[in-house]
Structure 1
Amino acid sequence: MPESRVLRKSGNSAILTVPTEVMEALGVNIGENISYVIENDSVKLVKEKSEIDNLGVSKEFIEMVNESFTKYEGALRELADK
């Protein structure tokens, strides 16, 4: 049986809450973007790919690079200034 939600007004917009189960199924978290596609009389929600997803590298690799830049920021800045 389909689950339903009530549209709520916020300023000039309407807000629809997304259940945790739907967020988990899409693999999204608070703050991430989702897209919607209108197909006849239904709407399909789709997780938007982030810039990191489009790079074709793992999130673990990005985290490792960020940690390295943070750890060696001073040395990297000195090299860049030469």
Structure 2
Amino acid sequence: MTKRTTKKEVTKLVVARRKRIAKSVKLRKQGNSIVMTVPNEVKEALGYSSDDQNFKMKYIIEDGEIKIQRDTEVSDKDVLKAALESMEQYNELYKTLVNK
């Protein structure tokens, strides 16, 4: 679960999205792929904390430009994980509701 965003953080995000930042990053080969480390400022511009270790982003290639966006799609695996956590946390409540 991600934390709730405060008004101050939203303002910071809007400012970050309006500001143009251009920096170079190194690419490295790993197996059959080319890997790029995502800098914290990119994660933060996408709305993630620099402390977030699990985050998803997607890229869109359009008219010769690459756009990076926060991935808001939820996978079936994520839904199942949330359901199992909920069942574990509220097990007694669910039993009570079933028996009513």
What is the Cα deviation at residue 31 of structure 1? 1.8
Residue segments in structure 1 that go unaligned for 5+ positions in a row = 52-61
Compute the TM-score of the two structures, normalised by the length of structure 2: 0.52
Take 2:30 and 2:63, find their aligned partners in 1: how far apart are those partners? 27
Does 2:42 correspond to 1:25?
no
- Corresponding residue for residue 54 of structure 1: none
Deviation at 1:33, TM superposition (A): 1.4
Q: In the comparison of the two structures, how many residue pairs are matched?
A: 67
Shift of the 81–44 alpha-carbon distance from structure 1 to 2, 3 Å rule, reads same
Provide the TM-score with structure 1 as the length reference: 0.61
For 1:38, what is the secondary structure of its paired residue?
A: strand
Which letter maps to 2:92?
G
Q: Which residue of 2 aligns with 1:56?
A: none
Question: 5+ residue gaps in structure 2?
Answer: 1-20, 75-81
Match of 2:94 in 1: 76
Aligned match of 1:11: 31
Q: CA RMSD in A?
A: 3.1
